[in-house]
Structure 1
Amino acid sequence: MNTPLRRLATVVLVMFVALMASATWVQYFQAERLNNDSRNVRTLYREFGNARGPIVVAGDAIALSTPVEDSYGYQRSYTAGELYSTVTGFYSVVNGRTELERAANDDLTGRGDRLFFSRIRDLLTGSQPEGAAVETTLLPAAQQAALDGLAGQQGAVVAIEPSTGKILALVSTPGFDPNALASHDIAAAGAAYQQLASADGNPLRSNATQERYPPGSTFKLVTAAAALESGQYTPASTLPAPVQLTLPQTTATIGNFGGGGCGSDPITLADALRISCNTAFGQLGMDVGAEALRTQAERFGFNDPDLTIPMKVVESVFPDEMNAPITAQSAIGQRDVQATPIQMAMVSAAIANGGQLMTPYVVQTVRSADLHRVSETQPDLYSTAMSPGSAAALRDMMVGVVDSGSGTAAKIPGVQVAGKTGTAQTADGQAPHAWFTAFAPADAPRVAVAVIVEHGGNAGNEATGGRIAAPIAKAVIEAVLAS
């Protein structure tokens, strides 16, 4: 063979090797990612031909597939669309899948590794493949109370069982009806998606898990925890509480709600939390220090990019590289501090559980089509957020907030509620967000809850967390305690 032919043969060989390597990379190494991509319509067509498993709440299917006489074979439907849309998301041949329909897709389709033996059984018996049932931790009464409490206002509610991490309620408003997106009429389903995607409030996004907000004074729980954990403070420790706190290195100041004082100067740490004294907590943040605040925030779950429930939760943020003025503003939940509603529910849940933060989860059990239990979620410790002694002290301080402080609207006769209000400033010219986070009963907690009503909801600039968000939290707590 002469030299030109050898060179040509080498080039052809290299091209064949490159082609084989590329095909192997796509078909093997990238197969899982491509199959799970919600834009992969081929996967959806293949999946529609099998019976997709139901999503279940308290024994009732809230998402299910039924046989139909069309080319897809099965129609996905949702029995209580808007009530559970934050959890189920949607499953659509046109628009893909979101939320639990996406996160639990391998179980719902029956393709997951833990359903291997079910697939072998179906193959040997000639049975039609069926997906597994995904049973959630949701409590219908709590979910309904959360949706009713928001009453058309934009916001979110999250309720967690502190001792286990079970999510009892997960609501984002505005919600949507997944049935319109699940339609087999491609034009109608596409139009429904476009309408929702451009609607005010972005109904397709979960405010509970995918949106970050300044947490405002609810973050004072984190600052108080850092102070108590330092060993330098107790609830009786006194803090300076001027009408205005002048921030070092700048002419900026921090003021209190309404522009007044905090009743006394100095003030105890317990009273500063009870009435939500900004100037006291701004100074406390600078005294405790940025590093201690960041460490404490991260013990509660901030700055964690990997949290899933199993739906992905966007990372809550406590910033790096802070000087004294930024530290003071961060200590009261402003500046660059950002938190999801589920994050603030986790803060309350950890305090309620004696400082032990359990990993939140919304899937309790996965069952194969023959009702065999394939998996069961067991409670898992996320972190030790604070010592039992500090948690008990902070719990008692939070009880004071509801008994005689800024959160009295959350009082429940015969039940001791521990809570914290927040009224978070946003952009200039916009009304503040109204926050409330709480747990109850304080001495034996069964539920921790976080509520945000964006831009004060119906009250606008007149809103406070105690006035707008606390009654919603109260209703959710009552629903859990009555169940």
Structure 2
Amino acid sequence: MNNPLKHVAVVGFVMFALLFGSTSFVQYFQAQALRDHELNTRTLVEELSRERGPILVDGTPVAYSVPVDDTYEYQRTYGADGMPAEVYAPVTGFFSIVSGASGLEKTENGLLAGTDDALFYDKISSIFTGSQPAGAAIEITLDPEAQMAAWNALGGQKGSVVALDPKTGDVLAMVSSPGWNPNPIASHDRDEALNAYERLIADDDNPAYNRAIGGNLYPPGSTFKLVTAAAALESGEYTPDSQLSGPATLDLPQTTATISNSGGGACGSGGTVSLADSLKNSCNTSFADLGMTLGSDAMSEQAQKFGFGESFDIPLQVSASSFPSDTNPPQLAQSSLGQFEVRATPLQMAMVSSAIANGGSLMHPQLIDQVRNARTLDLISEPSPREFSRPISGDTASALTDMMVSVVDDGTGTAAQIPGVDVAAKTGTAQHAQGAAPHAWFTSFAPADDPQVAVAVVVESGGNAGSQASGGRVAGPIAKAVMEAVINE
């Protein structure tokens, strides 16, 4: 063979090898990515032409598929009798032919669509029967009584409520207000679905944010004093009876700024106040001074132990709450009151109360109760409770519990009193913007001697009370309603 023919043969061989390699790469290595691509309408049609598994609350579907006579064969539907779609939308999310998916519809898509490896035997069976594999049924941990109590108590005010079972980490309530209805976004009419999605995203009230775990994080205000008190008790240098400086006004070092108490006067008599009484009456000057004394490292470390700085899944992704590092004394004083650059989700503050309620053990929050085969009801998975961290000792948890009970008995949290039940709580009123009404906060648990529920509530910009808002007055009754709903079941 002469040289020109050899060159042609080599080039032909190389081109064949490249073609074979590229097609093999696409078919083998990129197959799943191409299959999952949002523009792959064939996959979407395939998914919607099989029965998508339901999302259930206490056995009742709040997201489910209904047979229809169109290209997609099944219409995704949200809500149930007495369980409005907008109340559960931040958790369920939506499944749309034009906008993809959100919430649990997104994070648990493989199970709901029937494509997850956990449904392997169903998929094999469907090959022989010629039927489409059905999606799994996902039972979530929400308590319908607690969920509706939270929704009704918020009464349309912007904000959020989270309730946890301190012993297991189960999310008993997760409400974000204002709510929104996923049904128009799930429409098979593409124009209707797209318009509904665009209206949701463009809404100035940001209903698309799940305020419980993400969106714009909030300064937690005085509810963060629980973390500061925990750091003091954990240091071994303080007890609930330790005397703190509590002047009417605290001059901050390195600046001309000052910190004052909400009532304008000093805390305690003689310029000093015990740690317990300081928490009960939410004394700003004593906690600001205490934070500076403890130091930036101790405060930052205690916040991290409670979960600040960490993003995690429940399986919805939870935005990381934050506590600033390397603060100077004035910044640290403000941070010790839950101001300056401290930011928290309502879930995070519910976790703080939950850890105290559970003797110092913080359980990992979880939304999934169990996953079952929707046809056979066979159990596929059932997440076990697991510890998130151990931020405080049992002794510290006991001391904080007693201090929080006094907040409700005769401190700033009396609005959450439940007859015959000891309630532990901390109020918060958080400044967040110049001239804006403060956010109203409340975090609590009950019964104090055998906790069944830990709650955090935030009402944005004081809600209906506006500039007259306080955490105890505005958010306290909401937390009470949720605690009663769980305790009275």
Mapped to 2, the partners of 1:34 and 1:439 lie a distance apart of: 48
Q: Does 1:106 align with 2:97?
A: no
- TM-superposed deviation, 1:123: 2.1
SS, match of residue 76 in structure 1: strand
Correspondence for 1:160 among 157, 164, 171? 164
Q: Does 1:229 align with 2:234?
A: yes
Q: Does 1:372 align with 2:378?
A: yes
Q: Which amino acid aligns with 2:253?
A: P
Q: Where does residue 222 of structure 2 map in the other structure?
A: 217
Correspondence for 2:243 among 238, 242, 246? 238
Q: Which amino acid aligns with 2:162?
A: V
Mapped to 2, the partners of 1:31 and 1:213 lie a distance apart of: 42
Q: Where does residue 77 of structure 1 map in the other structure?
A: 77
Correspondence for 1:286 among 249, 267, 292? 292
SS, match of residue 56 in structure 2: strand
- TM-superposed deviation, 1:295: 1.1
Gaps of 5+ in 1: none
TM-score normalised by L of structure 1: 0.95
* 1:119-158 alignment runs, 5 A limit: 119-158=123-162
SS, match of residue 416 in structure 1: coil
- TM-superposed deviation, 1:215: 0.5
Q: Give the % identical residues.
A: 54
Correspondence for 1:342 among 333, 337, 347? 347
Q: Where does residue 197 of structure 1 map in the other structure?
A: 201
SS, match of residue 181 in structure 1: coil
Instruction: Write out per-residue CA displacement over residues 223-280 of structure 1, whole angstroms, 9 at most, x where no aligned residue.
Output: 1111111111110001001111111111111111143322432100001100111110
CA change 1:7–1:460 in 2 (3 A) is farther
Instruction: Write out per-residue CA displacement over residues 146-175 of structure 1, whole angstroms, 9 at most, x where no aligned residue.
Output: 100111100000000000000000000011
CA change 1:376–1:421 in 2 (3 A) is same
CA change 1:65–1:249 in 2 (3 A) is same
Q: Is the 8 A contact 2:362 2:390 kept in 1?
A: yes
Moved more, 125-134 or 215-224: 125-134
Q: Where does residue 299 of structure 1 map in the other structure?
A: 305
CA change 1:430–1:8 in 2 (3 A) is farther
Mapped to 1, the partners of 2:341 and 2:32 lie a distance apart of: 37
CA change 1:83–1:285 in 2 (3 A) is same
CA change 1:43–1:287 in 2 (3 A) is farther
- TM-superposed deviation, 1:467: 0.5
Backbone CA RMSD of aligned residues: 2.2
SS, match of residue 460 in structure 1: helix
Q: Is the 8 A contact 2:247 2:265 kept in 1?
A: no
- TM-superposed deviation, 1:7: 11
Moved more, 66-75 or 31-40: 31-40
Mapped to 1, the partners of 2:254 and 2:234 lie a distance apart of: 28
- TM-superposed deviation, 1:322: 1.3
Q: Is the 8 A contact 1:38 1:97 kept in 2?
A: no
Q: Is the 8 A contact 2:45 2:71 kept in 1?
A: no
SS, match of residue 179 in structure 1: coil
- TM-superposed deviation, 1:112: 1.1
- TM-superposed deviation, 1:286: 0.8
SS, match of residue 374 in structure 1: strand
TM-score normalised by L of structure 2: 0.94
SS, match of residue 138 in structure 2: strand
- TM-superposed deviation, 1:379: 0.2
CA change 1:267–1:51 in 2 (3 A) is same
Q: Where does residue 182 of structure 1 map in the other structure?
A: 186
Q: Which amino acid aligns with 2:274?
A: T
Q: Which amino acid aligns with 1:332?
A: L
- TM-superposed deviation, 1:326: 1.2
Q: Does 1:452 align with 2:458?
A: yes
CA change 1:89–1:401 in 2 (3 A) is same
Q: Where does residue 419 of structure 1 map in the other structure?
A: 425
Correspondence for 2:443 among 414, 437, 450? 437
Mapped to 1, the partners of 2:38 and 2:427 lie a distance apart of: 39
Gaps of 5+ in 2: none
Q: Where does residue 409 of structure 1 map in the other structure?
A: 415
Mapped to 1, the partners of 2:258 and 2:20 lie a distance apart of: 65
CA change 1:254–1:99 in 2 (3 A) is same
Q: Where does residue 54 of structure 1 map in the other structure?
A: 54
Correspondence for 1:87 among 76, 85, 91? 91
Count of paired positions: 481
Instruction: Write out per-residue CA displacement over residues 255-313 of structure 1, whole angstroms, 9 at most, x where no aligned residue.
Output: 111433224321000011001111100011111111111111111111012x1110111
Mapped to 2, the partners of 1:167 and 1:210 lie a distance apart of: 16
Mapped to 1, the partners of 2:39 and 2:299 lie a distance apart of: 41
Q: Is the 8 A contact 2:111 2:136 kept in 1?
A: yes
Q: Is the 8 A contact 1:210 1:313 kept in 2?
A: yes
CA change 1:338–1:23 in 2 (3 A) is farther
Mapped to 1, the partners of 2:343 and 2:27 lie a distance apart of: 40
* 1:8-27 alignment runs, 5 A limit: 13=14, 17=18, 20=21, 24=25
CA change 1:355–1:10 in 2 (3 A) is farther
Correspondence for 2:329 among 324, 331, 344? 324
CA change 1:330–1:122 in 2 (3 A) is same
CA change 1:126–1:401 in 2 (3 A) is same
Q: Where does residue 212 of structure 2 map in the other structure?
A: 208
